[in-house]
Each structure stands twice: as structure tokens, then as C-alpha cells.
Amino acid sequence: MNRAKKEKKMKTPITKKELMKQKVLLFWSAIFVVYGLIFYYVPLGGWIMAFQNYKPKTGLLHSKFVGLGKFKFLFEDQTFLKVIRNTLGMGVLNLVCTFVMAILFAILLNEIRSNKGKKTIQTISYLPHFLSWIIVTGILHDALSANGIINELLVNLHIIDTPISFFSIPQLFWPIVAFANVWKETGWNAIIYLAAITSIDPSLYEAAAIDGAGRWAKIKYITLPGIRPTIMILLLMNIGNVLNAGFEIQYLLGNGLIKNVSDTIDIYVLTWGISQSDYSLGTAAGIFKSVVAIILIVVANYVAKRSGEERLF
């Protein structure tokens, strides 16, 4: 950052002449800054609400300050603690499953010799990514319903006698969500690994073949080490998103029977903030989420830096 600033100063000093020359750029930049301030930075000012007993009537300026009262309420609320557990649990489970599956899929697809077959499979693999969560949830609901394909298979294979009601068993909810994420994003996430695999020097494989390496050996000693930097950087980018992994599918599939394991921080914010109109509490929960996300990113970045891996910043 510092060096960049110095270099820039050496190149183009801020003079009246230069400012005049760049007046069009400056004009549009100003518009983008105003836009950014309104839509991204002003809401941050709304964080004050979390320290108030905000009432829409009195507004931000005249509502009563309650200090950390709302946060205290949050951490004494058993529901909120459960909601944190669910968000982190599902976030980590989703992250691990989608990561492993995308890498596995990319490596295995790369081993398909027929180019046409490879292309076709890849095109099909992108499809679910373009479907909305509403559609995916609907499809999942059909597949797992009492007369859906999964129950039909399980009954016909004599694994179970009567259809399972999948959405009323708490233990099954997290795995179902993880599966839905894997189903939707595996092909999409694999794109970047496939690109990384293509950039590996082919002579390495040739050399390995001469040495008598089989497919497994080539994957283990060439492909995996080759995409390692890509894996690390994507892992870093996604760790900050762990808490964002939980809204749509949980909101759509959650029901009274499994609320305990399905509700996430976002749903908590929605319930308290919108339905109960406790804006302050909703904001406080949202702040907690943002802060944890930033801590996660910074820590992950630090760990990567210490272990000599690539890093984000």
C-alpha cells in the first residue's frame, strides 16, 4: 500500500494542471463515491441502532441509548447461542463438503480421455448453479418427499420399510443442506480447479509416465501439488463467507420440528428485526455476524502468511 502510494506520487504529482486534465475521471469518481457512501457506508452508520432502544418514531437521533444492553440480551438468549452453533456448523460442513467434492470432481473429470465426453459432463455440471435456491429447494422437497425417488429407492432396496419423513428428523437437516450445496455448486466450483490443472506443465506428466507412474501416482505427485496454491487462495476467500452460507435453504426448508437445528443468524435477524420489529436487536445480531466474518478472514490470512502460503492481502 505504502509503496504504491510513493510510486504514484513520483509518477503523477497532484497539480492543478493534472487535476484539470483528469476532470472527467474526477467527476465520475465523485459520483461513484457518493453512490458508494449512500448504499454501502451509510448503513454502517445504522449500527448505532444496536446501542439504542431504537423506535422508528423517534429515529436514530433521538432514540434512547442502552449501551451494550442489546448484546447482553443476545448472549443470554439460548436461541441466539443455538443459532450461532447452527450457522457455524452448517457453514463449516458446507465449506468442507463443497470444497472436497469440487476438487475431486475436477481431478476426476480431467482424467476423462474423451474430449467430447469431458465437455458434455462439464456443461451438465454447471446447470444446477444457475437454478435459484427456490427451484433447488423445490426439487429437493420432491426428491425427499414420502413418494419421492429417495424413499422409493430405499424401500425397494429393503433398507427401510416405510418412507422416511426427511424434513422432520433434526439429525438429517445439516447433511441435507450440505448435499444440496454440493449438488448445486460442485460443477461451478470445479471450473477454477480445471483451469489450474490445465496450466500444469504437461512435461511433468510425460516424465512421470516414463518413470512408470500410474494414474494415482500422477494425481498425487503432480496434479494435487499443482493446484495447491489455487486451493489455498479459494479456501481463504471462502472462510470469510462461512457465516453467509446460511439463509435461503434454511429459511425455505425450516419448519417447527427442526427449528432447533435449522435456524441461522440471518433467520434470527429476520425474525427479530422484521417480524418482531425490534430493529436494535436485529442490527446487533447482524453486527455480531459481520465482526466474526472479519475476524475469520484476518485470522485465516494471518495463518496463511505464517505458513508461507498465498494470501489475500
Partner 1 sequence: MENKEMNQQTDMAAFHEETKAQESKNTSTVVKKHNSILTADKLFVVCNTLFMILFVVVTLYPVLNTVALSFNEGTDAVRGGIHLIPRKFTFKNYSVVLHMQNIITGAVVTVARTVIGTLLALVANALLAYIISRKEFLFKSQLSLFWVITMYVNGGLIPVLLLYKSLGLTNSFWVYVIPGMVSAFNVLVMRTYMQGLPEALEDAAKIDGAGYMTIFVKVVSPLCKPVYATVALFVAVGQWNSWFDAMIYNRMKTEYTTLQYELMKLLSSVMQQSGSATSMNTANAATVTPVTVRAAATVITMLPIICLYPFLQRYFVAGLTIGGVKE
Q: Nearer Cβ to partner 1, position 137 or 181? A: 137
**Taking contact as CB under 8 A, which single stretch among the options 62-70, 72-80, 88-96, 290-298 is the one that binds partner 1?**
290-298
Report 76-105 residues binding partner 1 (CB under 8 A): 105
Give the Cα separation of 63 and 45 in Å (integer): 14
Cβ–Cβ < 8 Å for 177, 250: yes
Quick check: 175 binds partner 1 (CB under 8 A)?
Answer: no
Quick check: 65 binds partner 1 (CB under 8 A)?
Answer: no
CB of 18 to partner 1, least distance (A): 6
Q: Which three three-digit cell numbers place residue 285?
A: 445480531
Give the Cα separation of 171 and 184 in Å (integer): 21
Quick check: 276 binds partner 1 (CB under 8 A)?
Answer: no
Question: Which residue from 88, 231, 297, 304 is in contact with partner 1, where contact means CB under 8 A?
Answer: 297
Quick check: 5 binds partner 1 (CB under 8 A)?
Answer: yes
Q: Which three three-digit cell numbers place residue 168?
A: 422432520
Torsion sign (Cα): 120, 125, 131, 135: positive
Report 186-225 residues binding partner 1 (CB under 8 A): 187, 191-192, 195, 200-201, 204, 207-208, 211-217, 221-222, 225
Q: Give the total of residues touching partner 1 (CB under 8 A).
A: 108
Question: Which residue from 95, 109, 197, 261 is in contact with partner 1, where contact means CB under 8 A?
Answer: 109
CB-side neighbour CA atoms (13 Å) of 176: 26
Give the Cα separation of 111 and 109 in Å (integer): 5
Question: Which residue from 20, 24, 61, 157 is in contact with partner 1, where contact means CB under 8 A?
Answer: 24
DSSP helix/strand/coil, 246: coil
Report 120-139 residues binding partner 1 (CB under 8 A): 121, 123-128, 130-135, 137-139
Q: What is the DSSP string of 132-170?
A: -HHHHHHHHHHHHSTTSHHHHHHHHTTS-SS---GGG-H
Question: Which residue from 274, 295, 299, 303 is in contact with partner 1, where contact means CB under 8 A?
Answer: 274
* Window 145-164: contact mask with partner 1 (x via CB under 8 A): xxxxx--x------------
Quick check: 263 binds partner 1 (CB under 8 A)?
Answer: no
Q: Tell me which residue of 76, 41, 38, 43 sits closest to 279, measured CA to CA.
A: 43
Tell me the one-letter amino acid at 215.
R
R_g (Cα) of the chain, nearest Å: 25
Q: Nearer Cβ to partner 1, position 29 or 58? A: 29
Tell me the one-letter amino acid at 212.
G
Q: Nearer Cβ to partner 1, position 100 or 149? A: 149
